[in-house]
Amino acid sequence: MLRGTGATLTLVGGDVEALTRWTSAARSAGFTRVAVAPGPAALTGEALAQLVAAGVGALRARLYAADSGAHDWHAKLEGSFRTTTTLLRAARALRVPATVRTPLTRSNARVLAALPGLLVDVAAVGWCVEVIAEDEREPAGGLVPRLGVGLPYALQAIAAAERAGLAAAVEGAPACLLGPLREREVPSPARAFAGCCDDCGLRGGCVGIDAGYLQRFGAGELVVRGRTAAEPAAPGPRARRLQDMFSGPCLEIAEGACWPI
Ligand code: SF4
């Protein structure tokens, strides 16, 4: 049974008809807001306008890069960049708040710096870079970057996004590798921990590291912090805002429209 808690429910995948039906059900069940997260083919602006009329109040999109070549390669769909950015511009025209997620890969880390400018142009309200886990649908390690190489690019891009006025977050990264941007991390399911993590003062607030990554590369990139390492007592206003944008219940309502990773 669908039961809301006053939170935002994100509907993943689905066509306009199904999304309209589920939006009505979600609002009746008590969710104060419904967001839609279409797959690589996105939605047309007309479809989004219909969904807004039916009660949809937010858009969740995914962009791998600020150019069609890199984005479409990751999305495994030619034209995905064009349809996704067209949808984001339609959301801007309809005044529908849109957030964007970007999985961090070996192939997009070095070009992430171009994304904040595009996201500001389409008036996205928030951006989250995801540290991905090994994916069974890909050759092992084919997309996952070494954290010591890829994550600094992500953190630099997040800092640039903030300078441009865009709220930016990171998900799935070991806390010891975030430096002064630890408060930008949004909650995600816990991963694995290395033996050295037992002595780390940040463990209580750390998501850990992907088990497949740990097995492949070991724990050499992790930086164990002393027991006296400062733990954030409670999420500040910025952290709460990012959590509101990038956490919350999701409902996958259709097969065939999901992202490859
Ligand atoms: S050393 Fe381990 S527990 Fe400590 S922050 Fe890094 S991954 Fe987390």
Closest C-alpha to ligand 1, atom 6: 176
96 lines ligand 1 (CB under 6 A): no
Which 3 state secondary structure label does DSSP give 157? Answer: helix
Lowest-confidence pick of 129-138, 198-207, 238-247: 129-138
Residue 261 scores a pLDDT above 60: no
pLDDT grade for 238, boundaries at 50, 70 and 90: confident
pLDDT grade for 226, boundaries at 50, 70 and 90: confident
131 lines ligand 1 (CB under 6 A): no
Say if CB 154 and CB 176 are below 8 A apart.
no
Q: What percent of the chain has pLDDT over 90?
A: 78
Distance 100 CA to ligand 1 centre (A): 27
The alpha helices in the chain, defined as continuous H runs, are 16-28, 45-53, 68-75, 80-94, 115-121, 147-163, 211-217, 237-246
Phi, psi of 18 (to 5 degrees): -65, -40
What is the sign, positive or negative, of the torsion defined by CA atoms of 197, 198, 201, 205?
A: positive
Average pLDDT of the chain, as a whole number: 91
The single-letter code of the amino acid at 135 is: D
DSSP 8-state code for residue 234: S
From the CB of residue 85, how many other CB atoms can be counted at a distance below 10 Å? 20
Residue 5 scores a pLDDT above 90: no
pLDDT grade for 139, boundaries at 50, 70 and 90: low
Class of domain 8-252: alpha beta
Domain residue spans in the chain? 8-252
Phi, psi of 7 (to 5 degrees): -90, 180
pLDDT grade for 150, boundaries at 50, 70 and 90: very high
Residue 122 scores a pLDDT above 60: yes
pLDDT grade for 191, boundaries at 50, 70 and 90: very high
Q: Which two tokens stand for residue 244?
A: 């509101």
Lowest-confidence pick of 62-66, 132-136, 173-177: 132-136
